[in-house]
Amino acid sequence: MGTYNDEINIKTNGEVDIIDITSQIQEIIKKSKIKNGIACIFVPGSTGSITTIEYEPGLKKDFPRALQKIAPKGEHYDHHETWHDNNGHSHVRASLMGPSLAIPLIDGKLIHGTWQQVVFVELDTSPRNRNLIVQIVGD
């Protein structure tokens, strides 16, 4: 029984970039030598999110379009008055989606469906360097 920690470093293209990190998580699981347990993927930062999606070009357009309806860019946000910036919608979307994903590993393999990939969703307006935390607990 033990824990293993690593980071995934990615460069995003800003709003709304969806990046497949499935194989990078699998690599970290392999290095960890932990066979069975739970992996927690976490973004330190309040304008990004981790979820799963079928990673294909259509949904990469559909999902941002849905977010634009839920928390529209271009509207007034009180957040803008605090910092004189323009990413209030990014924060609202991130808090709604959540910053982390808990996902099982079994026999050394990350569990996911064939048409299901783990993704980081960049919700901030500008390109960012992101260091995602992967924390594994198991044996």
Q: Which residues bind its own copies (CB under 8 A)?
A: 1-3, 5, 36-38, 40, 42-46, 51-54, 56-59, 61-63, 66, 69-71, 77-83, 88, 91-92, 94-106, 111-113, 115-116, 133, 135, 137-139
Within a 13 Å sphere around the CA of 81, how many CA atoms are in the beta-carbon half?
4
Q: How far is the CB of 56 from its own copies (least distance, A)?
A: 5
Query: How many residues are recorded in the chain?
Result: 139
Burial class (CB in 10 A: 0-12, 13-18, 19+), 40: middle
Q: How far is the CB of 122 from its own copies (least distance, A)?
A: 14
Residue 136 — φ and ψ, nearest 5°? Answer: -115, 135
Q: How far is the CB of 133 from its own copies (least distance, A)?
A: 5
